[in-house]
Amino acid sequence: MNLNILKNTIQSCNINFLIGSGLSRDYLITLGNIETLIEKVETTECEEIVKNIIKASLFKRYFEEVMLKNVDSYIMSESEITDFDATLKNYKDFLKWLNTILLYRYMPIHSKQVNLFTTNIDLFFERAFEETNVESNDGFKGRIKPVFNLSNFQKSYKKTSLHYKNTSEIPVFNLLKLHGSVNWRKENENIVLSDFSEIHEAHKILGKLGVIINVTDESTIDSLKLDAEKIKSSIDETLLMSFFESYNKIQVVNPTKEKFKTTLLNTYYYELLRLFANEMEKENTILFAMGFSFADEHIKEITIRALNSNPTAQLYIFAFDNQAKTAIENNLEFSKNRFLNGNIKVIDPATFYQSNLEDENLEKVDNFNFENINKVVFENLALKVNPTIRLVDAK
């Protein structure tokens, strides 16, 4: 990935991003082994109460380490405040640089919209939109009780000057949350914004339930079974089932292959995936994948099909390091030569640096965390698109 070539490419492309949980790391955990363990517990031989204890423990970790930490009333520790502020800053910087790139690109035939497809259920993008004042669209419409509708993404925004009535399109960020969101809830047959009452209810039940099993990244299905056997006689099964019932009210896709809790969420998930597929089928489409491993089978297959059927589409995947690059290539089955058009690149920091040796302003980084991607890729792209930024910052 050469920045000068990329600068010219994005002038005439439909720009899309695929954002995974790696970008919210430090403050929020990634799924790690949770999905694998949930799949294994379904097929393991043990009592139903043992299965339920293990599942509740796995959901509890995901709930406490991802969902609960998005609620305004959550009390952060000092280290969590530091991690939260740093993570939010990364999202804000990303929007700032991308907004500049969109604002100054010179091809009028392409809209100044960018699609942010994400499997993250957190609220970092929403907070960053609010604090940066960029134009955004999350699919909701309404003031008193906003309702989610996919047709709300089919909009562009223009600004008219007060004196001369000149009209120009302004950059807009479409946020498409493929796995739902912690602030979604089901009301009749609609998705509406939640007041987090479902999360508070689940948290209250967990408090009554007490300690279940402590799940770590090193946990195995065998170790969890042993721990569950030890405490099964002291578990209140009624409270356990109440936790599942309360948890299932939160409109997020489960970290399992059997992802859905409701038919409504199922419908929106596949319609959002269809929108993703449609965008990938457009001529001259570019997709940047960040913090995303392509372990998700649905998204992986849609992406492969789109890249094979649309030779004008391009996929750039930012890998955290060389080890992550190998894992991504394995997930995408590079060894099976499934990509027919050579329109995919998995980029680690070392490869990126070697491709841009002529760029004097480029800093060498050890990994592609969110901060470094912003610093060496999108900030430099914004400066190439509009060099006056450096002059303004220098004053």
pLDDT for the residue numbered 137: 94
Q: With bands split at pLDDT 50, 70 and 90, how would you rate the model's confidence at 347?
A: very high
pLDDT reading at 215 higher than 70 = yes
CA angle 159, 161, 162 (to 5 degrees): 125
Report the C-alpha gap between 378 and 373 in whole angstroms. Answer: 7
Q: Which of 1-10, 131-140, 152-161, 241-250 comes out lowest in average pLDDT?
A: 152-161
For range 165-183, the mean pLDDT: 86
pLDDT for the residue numbered 388: 81
Distance of CA 351 to the CA centre of its chain: 24
Report the C-alpha gap between 150 and 268 in whole angstroms. Answer: 8
Q: With bands split at pLDDT 50, 70 and 90, how would you rate the model's confidence at 152?
A: confident
pLDDT reading at 265 higher than 80 = no
pLDDT for the residue numbered 395: 41
Burial group, residue 229, by CB count within 10 angstroms (0-12, 13-18, 19+): middle
Q: Which of 85-99, 125-139, 153-167, 193-207 comes out lowest in average pLDDT?
A: 153-167
Report the C-alpha gap between 284 and 307 in whole angstroms. Answer: 11
- Number of structural domains, the chain? 1
pLDDT reading at 391 higher than 50 = no
Mean of pLDDT over the chain: 90
Fill in the DSSP letter of residue 151. G
pLDDT reading at 125 higher than 90 = yes
In this predicted model, what pLDDT tens digit does every residue of 19-59 receive, in sequence order? 999 999 989 998 878 888 988 988 888 999 999 999 999 99
pLDDT reading at 394 higher than 60 = no
pLDDT reading at 159 higher than 80 = no
Above pLDDT 70, what percent of the chain? 91
State the residue for tokens 């001529």. Answer: 283
Angle between helices 263-281 and 297-309 (to 10 degrees): 30
CA diameter of the chain: 77
In this predicted model, what pLDDT tens digit does every residue of 283-322 receive, in sequence order? 999 999 999 999 988 999 999 999 999 999 999 999 999 9
For range 121-138, the mean pLDDT: 96
Domain of residue 46 covers: 3-394
Q: What stretch of H or E contains 14?
A: strand 14-19
For range 14-20, the mean pLDDT: 96
Q: How far apart are the first and last CA of the chain?
A: 31
Task: Give the residue ranges of DSSP H helices in the chain.
Answer: 3-9, 34-43, 48-62, 78-104, 124-132, 197-209, 221-231, 237-247, 263-281, 297-309, 322-331, 349-355, 370-373, 379-385, 388-394
pLDDT for the residue numbered 262: 57
Ordered DSSP codes for 167-208: EEE--EEEEEETTB-TTEEEETTEEEE--SHHHHHHHHHHHH
For range 363-383, the mean pLDDT: 95
For range 114-140, the mean pLDDT: 96
In this predicted model, what pLDDT tens digit does every residue of 80-111 receive, in sequence order? 999 999 999 999 999 999 999 998 876 666 67
Query: How many residues make up the chain in this entry?
Result: 395
